[in-house]
Amino acid sequence: MFLHTKGLFALGVLLSFAYTAVALTTLTDEELRNIPHVPNEDFDINTGGLLAPILIPRVSGTEGAFKVQQHFVEFFRTQLPEWEIIFQNSTSTTPVTGNTQVPFTNLIFRRDPPDTQAGDVGRLTLVAHYDSKYSPTGFIGATDSAAPCAILMHVARSIEQALKAKWAAMQESGDDMLENPEGVQILLLDGEEAFKSWTATDSLYGARSLAEQWETDFHPAMSNYRTPLDSISLFVLLDLLGSANPFIPSYFLTTNWAYTNMGNLEKRMRDLDLLESKPPKQFMPETGLQSKHFGRGYIEDDHVPFMKRGVEILHLIPSPFPQVWHKMDDDGEHLDLPTVRDWARIVTAFTVEWLDIGTHLPKRAAQAAKRSVTTEASDSKRTEL
């Protein structure tokens, strides 16, 4: 990440004339209570099914990166088989590898409504990078960005049942699935980190490649959207999340409405005692900012190649950065797990509201019963052993 302080305000004002906020149906308190539980065991730093396999060095092109790719793919293939899995590959030289080409693999996990064509579906796009820094040797990057990747895996699993229920109800009632269909995709990007020092060419390897490809990968004529870039209804980037008491600014005027929606969801969930952490102030306090408050700059991150091509961005990155940023202490032991689990709940709620699936969430009582059965089965297995 690199702080960029010039040119943002003019860009934001220009885009704001052409962009209007999406009308969202606000979740009720009961629907917020029905947001799926975040199992503690999924985020255990040693044994957690989502997080633990990512807490290894995973420099682009190395065995660690390949193991983490396998973890993501296995999760979606086994737990979310109806999600489409797409690999986008590229290679590049780096300042530390000379003429040797380093492979970069972006993973796209996509869930579109049934019986729709790719060029007709707008997609909420949730994003994190999974690579870790080349140096210092052995660097983990728990906030940067193992925890955000695990959070997005949880979000995908949490919305699946409600998505199926919504689409099944639409088909049964004869509602037009093809009228402004909205899907969701998760981008787990490779090569965000610089190998030597942050420059335009030594950073964002995967994001630059994917944005360039999607800009020129045209959908069939008469599609709703010209390219996969045009299909992105909002690009939500998670980075450096997992330390206690984060302050997330609203970076962009054109998406302050989306920031405000997420910030309001966080506040309501805290008021309903649905979150674990007890920060001195909420994570996202800058709701409803006026235009005069923008223009202070932005942080260079995986969103930049997409933003430069006109994609709307919601950047969830703390300012200041966590104290462990780019230090060996950015490991599992230094994560604040209540904060991590709260981010999973908040981003899930935002996604549920965006996709208008709140009324299709399993009821809280049913979720509790399911967790009880799972726990009893687990306890039984331990007893047998």
Establish whether 31 is a catalytic residue: no
Residue 166 parent element (H or E) = helix 147-173
Question: Can you list the positions of beta strands (E) in 121-217?
Answer: 122-129, 182-189
Judged by DSSP in three states, 316 sits in: strand
* Beta-carbon contacts of residue 6 (< 8 Å; ≥ 6 apart): 297
Could you say which of 120, 192, 215, 342 is catalytic? 192
Q: Which residue has the tokens 């899995």?
A: 85
Residue 12 CB burial class (10 angstroms; 0-12, 13-18, ≥19): buried
Could you say which of 190, 193, 239, 301 is catalytic? 239
Paired with 124 in beta bridges are 184, 234
Of 236, 245, 235, whose CA–CA distance to 318 is shortest?
245
* Residue-level length of the chain: 385
Establish whether 239 is a catalytic residue: yes
Contact 212, 151 (CB under 8 A): no
Residue 24 CB burial class (10 angstroms; 0-12, 13-18, ≥19): middle
Judged by DSSP in three states, 257 sits in: helix
Question: Can you list the positions of beta strands (E) in 130-263?
Answer: 182-189, 232-238
Taking CA atoms, 20 is separated from 15, 28, 173, 269, in Å, by 10, 24, 30, 26
* Beta-carbon contacts of residue 311 (< 8 Å; ≥ 6 apart): 229, 232, 235, 303
Contact 169, 108 (CB under 8 A): no
Q: Which residues are catalytic?
A: 192, 239
